[in-house]
Structure 1
Amino acid sequence: MSEVIASYWSLEETAEGLYSELRSKFIAYVIPVRTEEEALAEVARLRQKYYDARHVCWAYRLGIDGETTRSNDDGEPSGTAGKPILGQLLSANVTEVVAVVIRYFGGVKLGTSGLIEAYREATREALSTAKKVERIVERAFTVAFGYELMGEVMRLVKDWDARVLEQEFLESCRLSLSLRADEAPKLFGRLEQIYGTTLAWSDEE
């Protein structure tokens, strides 16, 4: 059984970094995003802003598990830009982030190792100024029950500090609840033990 991810680290807001080497200037941005579309839109926006730059290289890491990644060297020698940029996102243990590094060529070639170091250090500089934020992952489920079980059910909901997303009190009662992904199965199990309740995971309905 795979481990339940209850939280992950991302960035609260955009941060910038700057690195210079042999007159080449590397301007780095790290930006919180939720989807690939958002990430690519940020790349396009910066490419337009720095239209006269030689290269606009980037990498992103998405998903609560950080397993969705992509990088681009934008004309630099293969593996010298996108890969070291992505490496810094992995080292910082942040996800749902796109990192973009804009290079203004200074007239002197840096070589493979020089490029790798420059893109890595520019990204590292941006991440060092970024404010990290821990995001909580929640899981939701519904519980239906008769009015005679109201006190027992609501007591557990309060004890587990579950968020009530929706509530319906008609001929019977129905609650939609959400709480930390690692705690949700425990409350689900406790409520399921109450005779007369009917439960269902929201992501399986």
Structure 2
Amino acid sequence: MSKDYPIPAGFLERETEIKKSRFIARVYPVSDRDEVREHVARAHQEFPDARHVCWAYQIGRPGSAAEAAMNDDGEPSGTAGKPILNVIQHKDMGDVLVIVIRYFGGIKLGAGGLVRAYAGAAESVLSEVGREVQQTRAQALLRFDFADEQPIRHWCENNEGVVEEIGYGSQVQATISLPEAGVDDFSAFCEARKLDYRFET
């Protein structure tokens, strides 16, 4: 389903070093919990000797996410997953997972230092990753005469509409996808030409 809020445009990785500890931060676009599990499992496989693989994600619209979770993976409670999630929540981005892999460098950072380190690592990827917004789209089912096909295609070209399927019989049947913002204009166009149309719910 298309989204009308920003999501990460793709995968990005950044590495920072704090007091000899390495923090490898990764950001991914995710649409469900299964994808989160896969990415986390892959990070454990790729970095088997890392001390911690901490993460946080939120799925859904920023500010009212349908789902969010975090994991400290052995770091003191609240010093890893929560700071990562806090950074995500301040970025106005949905459907996002951040994993931070830590290699311990022998110098303890303390609770405050860990919070700053994990938040900083999350910030390093989230501030650089591209964003994309996919507008919510509507689908219309139409039946019309052959003479109406060209005007319909013309409307689509000028209004970001896409003819997804078309079939020819005694009448033409078509499925058209269009930005939700254009639904009223499309309805007016169809009614002016007396076209048989309905929107899929």
Normalised to the residue count of structure 1, the TM-score between the two structures is: 0.82
For residues 14-45 of structure 1, give each alpha carbon's deviation from its aligned partner in whole angstroms, at most 9, with x where no partner exists.
21222333332211111223332222111110
Alpha-carbon distance, 1:192 to partner: 4.8
In structure 2, the partner of 1:198 is: 196
Alpha-carbon distance, 1:137 to partner: 3.1
Q: Distance in 1 between matches of 2:149 and 2:88?
A: 47
In structure 1, the partner of 2:29 is: 32
Equivalences for 1:157-176 in 2 at 5 Å?
A: 157-176=156-175
Distance 1:12 1:148, change over 3 A: closer
In structure 1, the partner of 2:44 is: 47
Q: Distance in 2 between matches of 1:148 and 1:179?
A: 21
Secondary structure of residue in 2 paired with 1:143: strand
Alpha-carbon distance, 1:110 to partner: 2.3
- Higher mean displacement: 127-136 or 35-44: 127-136
Secondary structure of residue in 2 paired with 1:52: coil
- Tell me, yes or no, if structure 1 residue 16 matches structure 2 residue 13: yes
- Higher mean displacement: 25-34 or 142-151: 142-151
Equivalences for 1:31-180 in 2 at 5 Å?
A: 31-63=28-60, 65-66=61-62, 67=65, 68-147=67-146, 149-150=148-149, 153-180=152-179
What percentage of residue pairs aligned between the two structures are identical? Answer: 32
Q: Which runs of 5+ in 1 are unaligned?
A: none
- Higher mean displacement: 192-201 or 23-32: 192-201
Q: Distance in 2 between matches of 1:170 and 1:109?
A: 74
Q: Distance in 2 between matches of 1:161 and 1:24?
A: 49
- Tell me, yes or no, if structure 1 residue 186 matches structure 2 residue 184: yes
Alpha-carbon distance, 1:166 to partner: 0.6
Name the Cα RMSD after superposition: 2.5
**Does structure 2 retain, via aligned residues, the 8 Å contact 1:34–1:96?**
yes
**Does structure 2 retain, via aligned residues, the 8 Å contact 1:188–1:199?**
no
Q: Distance in 1 between matches of 2:53 and 2:156?
A: 50
Q: Distance in 1 between matches of 2:162 and 2:127?
A: 34
Alpha-carbon distance, 1:181 to partner: 2.5
Q: Distance in 2 between matches of 1:191 and 1:90?
A: 41
- Higher mean displacement: 23-32 or 89-98: 89-98
For residues 83-127 of structure 1, give each alpha carbon's deviation from its aligned partner in whole angstroms, at most 9, with x where no partner exists.
211222222222222110011223333232221111000111122
Question: Could you tell me which amino acid in structure 2 is paired with residue 97 of structure 1?
Answer: V
